[in-house]
Each structure stands twice: as C-alpha cells, then as structure tokens.
Amino acid sequence: MQPIVHLAVGYLCYAGYTRWRRGRRPADGPALVAVFAAGLADFIDKPLYAAGIASVGRTIAHSLLVTIPLVLLVWCVATRYDRRSLGIAFAIGSLSHIATDVPWHVLSGEFDELRFLLWPITDMPAYTGVKPLGNVGGLEITTLWLEAVVLAAGLALWWTDGRPGIAAIRRIFKT
C-alpha cells in the first residue's frame, strides 16, 4: 500500500472507532496520533531501504515482533499519564498499517511476501509492488485503483469531520 494511503486508513479506522465508541468525530490530538502511527512503519522502514541499510522497505517497523511491543509500550505510557485516548489512537493507527499491508498479498496469491510480519525470524523477499487484481472491460484493475478509492474516502471523511488536527498543527507552528 502506498504510504499516503496508510494515513487515510489510519484516519478512517480511528474515526470509525470514535463514532462507534463515543458517537462523535475524532478530537484533534488523537486524530493526529492515529494518522502519525498509521504512517510510522513507512516513516521508519522506507528511509532505511532508501539509504541501503535494509534490503527491502518492510523490515523493522512492519514486523509484528516490533509493532506489538511498541503498541503495548505506548499504551502503558498513555495509561500512566491518563491519556488513554492517545494510546488507543496509536494502537489503531499502527495496527491498521500492518493489517492493510496484508490483503494485497492475499488477493494476488503472493503469500511469501507476508513474511515481513515476522521479520527478522523470517526473511523478506523483494517487494513486487503494485498487484494486478483482474480486468474489467479490457482495463487492468490493480491495487492502486482500490488504494485511490480508500484515499479519497479518507480525505472526504476527514474534510467532513472538520479536518481534525489542522488547528493543533497551526497552534504548534504559530510564531
């Protein structure tokens, strides 16, 4: 999945959670945490790959062996400081990233690429990129088509929700 789409998925998942649990749109702080956490695996692993430190772009931060302990650590710290909403937002964002990297490999039958889930116990083959899903009227449908729909849905919901997080970012960078 493209890195920017993970941000949209993180927002969609957290917004769905807040509506289900609290009956309202996400607050600024937790929305930012969810979106940040949804991108964290790529923020860590993609630069390591680009710098030649890792042989593929899904290693350390895409592994459940790292993600689960990190989510638990953030949850413990958030609980300690009575900021459970931030811990929940982090968990939803982080786990949404890992969860949405799985379906493309399953749909395309490339199950060997799922070995990133247990890195470094399992090695990770080179990522083969965009996956073909089929043809409709002679037009090849790939994972990018579905990702575009998810990105548009995430942006539409975020906009409809009043763009949570923007006010907080403006306050941070206000001079």
What tokens does 157 get?
Answer: 């919901």
Summarised one tens digit per residue, pLDDT across range 93-139 is: 999 999 999 988 887 788 888 888 998 899 877 777 777 777 888 88
**Statement: the pTM of the whole predicted model exceeds 0.85:** yes
As a whole number of angstroms, the distance between CA 22 and CA 19 comes to 5
- Measure the CA–CA gap between 121 and 117, rounded to whole angstroms: 9
**Closest alpha carbon to 19 in 173, 164, 170, 167:** 164
Task: For residue range 32-71, list pLDDT tens digits in order.
Answer: 999 999 999 999 999 999 999 988 888 899 999 999 999 9
The two tokens of residue 132 are 């073909």
What would the two tokens of residue 125 be?
């083959």
Q: Which of 115, 97, 114 is nearest to 105 (CA)?
A: 114
Q: Are 122 and 67 in contact (CB under 8 A)?
A: no
Residues 6+ away with beta carbon under 8 Å from 1: 9, 100, 101, 104, 143, 147
Contacts of 13 (CB under 8 A, 6+ apart): 34, 38, 92, 93, 96
DSSP track, 34-68: HHHHHHHHHHHHHHHHHTTSSSSSSSGGG-HHHHH
- In the block, which residue shows the tokens 């990233």? 97
Residue 130 DSSP SS3: coil
pLDDT at residue 175 above 70? no
Per-chain mean pLDDT for the chain: 91
